[in-house]
Structure 1
Amino acid sequence: MMDMGIQSEELLQFYDIIEKGSIYSVYQPIVSMQDGLVMGYEALIRGPKDSNFHSPLTMFQFAEQHGELYKLEQLAREKAIQGSILEHPQQLLFINISSHVLYDPGFVPGKTLEILQKHGLRPSNVVFEITERTSIEDFSLAQKILAHYRKQGYRIAIDDAGAGYSSMQAIAELQPDFIKIDRSLIQDIHINKVKEYILETFVTFAQKMNISLIAEGIEHVDELTKLARLGVHYAQGFLLGRPQPDAATIQDSLKMLIWQQRKVQGGHMTWAIGDLKTPVKVFDKKVPISEVADYFKKNQESVGAVIVSEEVPVGLMMRDRLFQQLAGQYAFSLFWNRTVDSVMDDSPLIVDEFISVEQVSQMATSRSIHHLYDLVIITSSGKMAGIASIRSILESITNVRMESARVANPLTGLPGNLQINRELNKRIHENKPFHVVYADLDYFKWFNDRFGFQKGDQLIQYTADIMQQAISVCGNPLDFVGHVGGDDFIAISSTDEPELLCQEMIRRFEMGVKMFYEDEDWEYVWDRSGNKVKSEGVTLSLSLVVCSCESPISLEHISQTAAVLKKKAKAYPGSIYYFQNIG
């Protein structure tokens, strides 16, 4: 047992820390996996450096044991906001709160809001990160409390996802805006296939629920590379930046790596939102409302204007909303000489130019009905670049889908021969190294005859899926997957490791093909000529043409080389790839 005198001394020391407010915040950057820029910071509390309570774990455990967790967390929130290093209004501040504190009567929105306003921040800048120190006991009450906060603009994150059952239940019950993936799932993910598959499931789930994923504890470049390829939205860890009192600077090499490894959008046609940007009138946040109103009166076709501070967008002023505010009996005289930042929408939808149009569409249409048709602000490296209207976004999606449907393979939805030839010609004209993988199923006719056309179609769709999955994991942004026809596919990639890509395709194919056999056994199959061949079933033959582009190449050259390689691969029993360098 601990000596009572020591325990009493520690308690006095703890209360002295609370009374003097002698804790402080450090901030760890959270980085976007779209562009490598800092999207926000997690505030992490530290005790006095010469104290037994310097470690946050020791300090919070002590507070919980002595019933003083609320007091400590309240002080921690205040310190996190006071020392905030947010560099522009779109960055977020992640503040840790224990689930037990949610039920404390003193945990009221007004106190946090008061501190935020004092330091020039808004609820839309804050994400409450519910930590796993204690599990949530009453989910219905927690839902009501958090709904109250959400209405004011705060967002919610669930910490330590994947570390235990309680965090998974919290995700299901609370439907957070962010899910933070625990370090235990991130460590060595580049060499652990089980972790990779678990995270793939998280990514798919997050896409369906419009939730953003943050991978925690990234310490190695290989981990970052894998996470970017899998489509995780944000990253955090010592590799990107250690907790510190000042704003972080992300290494250019890591930004470039993120940009190069971003998850490809399958083989379908996609546009970035930057392709749709159009110019818009911009006002400084300190111009008088009268100036903005005069502009709208003189420019009847203008539906909105962007409000900026030093080229960074900080708000949106929609025409109709401004005139509604000026329409009251005394509103004109009240508002006319105020600055526009007092009436603007300070939480508009602001997106980076490289985000896909489909993703922006989901974000825009999930806004409240009052803001559904507001302009979407587009930035380039954090600076104002232009806007897109909801109409232009929806029209572009419709056009892309119509074009894709017109030329895509009807079974797999992958681009057909017209788009394949366009892509190959584009790569040849770019004169940069690329690789072409032709994929062909062996003994597919035998499989179709034995198991029926429906099973055959399912196997074709499965092959299309594994091709796209392998490209997502081992390929680069803007890589391409197409369906030549029948059981023939093509992938066009600029990866530095084309053989690894082929190995991943074969691994994924072999892992799942047996599920199509319905537990049947055989010793022989029949090839397309009707010859009896000893085989365990359908296999995958890959022809890898490595185009160095050091000398001129043509479509015919690529096609002829692939045909020779295909003949070699088909002569070998089992799934295999052969490769050759050209150009």
Structure 2
Amino acid sequence: MSVQSDSLSQFQEIIKQQSIYSVYQPIVSLQDGSVFGYEALARGPKGSIFHSPLEMFEFAEKQGELYILEKLAREKAIQGSILEHHQQLLFINISSQVLYDPQFVPGKTLEVLHQYGLRPSNVVFEITERSSIEDFSLAKKILEHYRKQGYRIAIDDAGAGYSSLQAIAELQPDFIKIDRSLIESIHTNKVKEYIVETFVTFAQKLNISLIAEGIEHADELIKLTRLGVHYAQGYLIGRPSERPVQVEESHRTLIWQHRKVEGSGMTWTIGDLATPVKVFDKKTVISEVADYLKKNQEAVGAVIVSEDSPVGLMMRDRFFQQLTGQYAFSLFWNRTIDSIMDDAPLIVDEYMAVEQVSQMATSRSIQRLYDLVIITSKGKLVGSASIRAILESITNVRMESARVANPLTGLPGNLQINRELNKRILENKPFHVVYADLDYFKWFNDRFGFQRGDQLIQYTADIMQQAIAVCGTPHDFVGHVGGDDFIAISATSFPELLCQEMIRRFDQGVQLFYEGEEWDYVRDRAGNPVKSEGVTLSLSLVVCSCDTPISLEQISQCAALLKKKAKAHQGSIYYFQNIC
């Protein structure tokens, strides 16, 4: 028997005996370190030449048996699913060419889900690039059918080729998985960092979540967390397993320390919006819940718990809709509430950002759009929040920010700067203040015009924020004092590295504003000629790490002395001083 026929015989036996199985690799939130979901990865029989999924799927494709193997892999993924609760997601791989297979009949996956107690809202179809998508209009039509049922879509290997970018533009997925080639050593490779920064920016605009694949080192995890990537996957966090994975406490701590939090000194976590909510044990009889809702007309719903952990939600309107009808009361009256509750409500941790919760809540189906959001602390119920409260909170914060922000850059102005400094002083914890000032900005404005001057101011605001995102901590602050003066307040352990990053970014991009023009000298504010290559950045770093109280005046005086020293030096530079 030839090697080829022997391989075919083994493959056919695997399909006949359904002897493949699934392992599951965790996908972790870079907001709180919790397990967001699992990617199901198929494996052939142990000891077989097809134990490796790569060998098995490549052979199936050559034999024209890819559909039947993927169908079996999907069924095994669902059958062995290790999801711990209904908020977790199961990522199932589907190659793009299978979408066009005439055997790819809608409804088959749904049957298997129901058989094992799952629902479409638990499943993400991950489109892999074993071959590129040829007919996007047909693919969109097929995937839209699945979206309407509640499934979500992910594009795999983004950044590994041109076709994945086209797939993102055409299919508008819910998730983008960033290829390992962009993740490996990202903490030492600025080009990769800038590419991922770009992914983060456009993902925010399109309301898409990013998943970084292939993380193997803590430095990679820190960098991705600081950049604002939403989720992470890789051997560092957890290897593929047949059992649920617990994220190591050290990795959760890193995520908490470096996570990116929007806003400065304002209410931006969902826990701040938690309000008390009526609670029923899951074995409470329906008649008791009905009695409560009839007597309390203001109650919009109730949370269903098991040992203080939320397991479901019962909204008033949906509750009474189910009890309407000729025989409804007699059928349901003495049953327990868990038989009719919504067992997949939106449950979020108290530290999750309000805007992130808003995106999750408003992406639900229209039937659930106004359901309460359940808020937990370490898995235990702390309260709920309504969609109205969430949207009002976001609106109020944005209005407050707009009222006192600098109109040119949108950064917090002097009122918020003073609030932030006072807050840091009262906390009595180490922090650092970086004052930034542009040298020869008046000369630039006079030579190139105020419009270009405004663009340079906006550019400076951008590089300050980018440097904080990369080298700072989640609750760091950037403000616009006015004109060409800025301030950053940081708790980073490496303030000098932060200053170096600001200077590097500024000097790297400022040349673009000159559009190739040349000059022999610039002029200072007094009109005196000064030999210089153009606008530079002077930074004053005030290190506030003492135990004794300090004042705003001390910080200001120290910064003024450092600024004078920096401006006497040619080129971009920073000077620092510890005021203790």
**Paired letter, 1:293:** A
Superimposed CA distance per residue, residues 138-175 of structure 1 (whole angstroms, 9 cap, x where no aligned partner): 22221122112112211111111111112111111111
Give the corresponding residue for 1:444.
441
1:398 aligns with 2:370: no
CA shift, 1:136, in A, is 1.6
State the distance in 2 between where 1:302 and 1:532 align: 73
SS in 2 for 1:369: coil
- Which of 313, 318, 333 is matched with 2:315 structurally? 318
* Aligned twin of 2:575: 578
Q: Does 1:329 align with 2:315?
A: no
Q: Does residue 1:71 correspond to 2:102, yes or no?
A: no
Residues in 2 aligned to 1:39 and 1:59: alpha-carbon distance in whole angstroms: 28
Matches within 5 A, 1:267-282: 269-282=266-279
User: Deviations for 1:22-57, whole angstroms, at most 9, x for unmatched residues?
Assistant: 211111110000001111111111111111111111
Deviation per CA, 1:231-262: give whole Å up to 9, x if none: 00000000101111111111111101001111
Amino acid at match of 1:214: I
User: 2:404 matched to which residue of 1?
Assistant: 407
Q: What is the CA–CA distance in structure 1 between the aligned matches of 2:355 and 2:122, rounded to whole Å?
A: 25
- How far, CA to CA, are the matches of 1:201 and 1:349 in structure 2? 29
Q: Which moved more, 1:171-180 or 1:402-411?
A: 402-411
Per-residue displacement from partner, 1:493-544 (whole Å, max 9, x unpaired)? Answer: 0011111111111111112212222332111111112211011111100011
Write out aligned runs for 1:121-160 (5 A): 121-160=118-157
TM-score of the pair, normalised by structure 2: 0.96
- Measure how far apart 1:545 and its partner are: 0.9
CA shift, 1:14, in A, is 1.1
Note if 1:481 corresponds to 2:478. Answer: yes
Among 4, 25, 36, the alignment partner of 1:39 is 36
Of 288, 293, 306 in structure 2, the residue corresponding to residue 291 of structure 1 is 288
CA distance in 1, matches of 2:350, 2:390: 13
> 1: distance between equivalents of 2:59 and 2:285?
52
| Contact 1:267/1:482, CA 8 A, preserved across alignment | no
2:420 maps to what in 1? 423
Match of 2:167 in 1: 170
Give the Cα separation in 2 of the matches to 1:42 and 1:466.
36
Please say if residues 229 and 264 of structure 1, whose CA atoms lie closer than 8 Å, have aligned partners that are also in contact: no
When the two chains are superposed, the root-mean-square deviation of aligned CA atoms in Å is 1.7
Q: Judge conservation of contact 2:264–2:476 (CA < 8 Å) in 1.
A: yes
1 CA distance for matches of 2:49 and 2:474? 49
Q: Does 1:230 align with 2:227?
A: yes
Shift of 1:485: 1.4
Residue 519 of structure 1 corresponds to which residue in structure 2?
A: 516
Show the counterpart of 1:378.
375
Partners of 1:278 and 1:388 within 8 A in 2: yes
2:23 equivalent in structure 1: 26
Matched, 1:540 2:537: yes
What is the distance in 1 between the residues matched to 2:486 and 2:325? 64
Does 2:184 correspond to 1:187? yes
Question: Does the 8 A contact of 1:268 with 1:404 survive in 2?
Answer: no
Deviations 1:253-291 (A, max 9, x none): 110100111124265845111111111112334433323
User: 2:538 aligns to what SS in structure 1?
Assistant: strand
Is the aligned partner of 1:455 residue 2:427? Answer: no
Q: Distance in 1 between matches of 2:110 and 2:359?
A: 29
The worse-fitting range, judged by mean Cα deviation, of 49-58 and 312-321 is 312-321
d(CA) in 2 for partners of 1:268, 1:169: 39
Q: What is the distance in 1 between the residues matched to 2:560 and 2:491?
A: 21
Residues 110, 300 of structure 1: alpha-carbon distance in 2 compared, 3 angstrom cutoff: same
Amino acid at match of 2:506: F
- Residue pair 2:78, 2:116 contacting (<8 A) in 1 also: yes
434-443 vs 65-74, which moves further: 65-74
Q: Work out the CA distance in 1 between the residues paired with 2:159 and 2:17.
A: 38
For the structure 1 residues 100 and 309, does the alpha-carbon distance in structure 2 shift closer, same or farther, using more than 3 Å as the test?
Answer: farther
Matched residue SS, 2:236: coil
CA contact (8 A) 1:88 1:312 kept: no
Match of 2:108 among 98, 108, 111: 111
Residues 200, 210 of structure 2: 8 Å contact kept: yes
Matched-pair contact (CA < 8 Å) for 1:262–1:476: yes
Q: In the alignment, which of 495, 507, 514 is matched to residue 492 of structure 2?
A: 495
Unaligned runs of 5+ residues in structure 2 are: none
**Number of residue pairs matched?**
580
Work out the CA distance in 1 between the residues paired with 2:111 and 2:284.
26
On the 8 A contact 1:90/1:314 being kept in 2, the answer is: no
Distance 2:171 2:335 in 1: 40
Residues 320-329 or 83-92, more deviating: 320-329
User: Which residue identity is paired with 2:152?
Assistant: R
CA distance in 2, matches of 1:527, 1:384: 61
Q: Distance in 1 between matches of 2:7 and 2:238?
A: 33
More displaced stretch, 181-190 vs 14-23: 14-23
| Structure 1, 371-380 or 221-230: larger mean CA deviation | 371-380
Q: What residue is the counterpart of 2:249 in the other structure?
A: 252
Q: Distance in 2 between matches of 1:441 and 1:192?
A: 28
Q: Is residue 262–residue 268 contact of structure 2 (8 Å, CA) maintained in 1?
A: no
Paired letter, 1:155? R
Partner SS for 1:26: strand
Once residues 160 and 337 of structure 2 are traced to their aligned partners in structure 1, the CA distance between those partners, rounded to angstroms, is 46
SS at match of 1:574: coil
Q: Which moved more, 1:176-185 or 1:377-386?
A: 377-386
1:96 to 2:99 alignment = no
Q: State the 1:430 CA deviation.
A: 1.2
1:556 matched to 2:553? The reply is yes
Contact 1:264 1:472 in 2 (8 A): no
State how far apart, in whole Å, the 1-side matches of 2:4 and 2:243 are.
Answer: 35
Amino acid in the other structure paired with 1:303: V
In structure 2, the CA distance between the partners of 1:137 and 1:143, relative to structure 1 (3 Å rule), is: same
Aligned to 1:210: 207
Q: Which runs of 5+ in 1 are unaligned?
A: none
Amino acid at match of 2:140: Q
C-alpha deviation, 1:60, in angstroms: 0.8
Percent same amino acid among aligned pairs? 81
Instruction: State the match for 2:193 in structure 1.
Output: 196
Structure 1 CA distance, aligned partners of 2:364 and 2:109? 24
Aligned amino acid, residue 31 of structure 1? V
Pick which of 339-348 and 95-104 moved more. 339-348
Of 537-546 and 372-381, more deviation after overlay is shown by: 372-381
Distance 1:562 1:110 in 2: 67
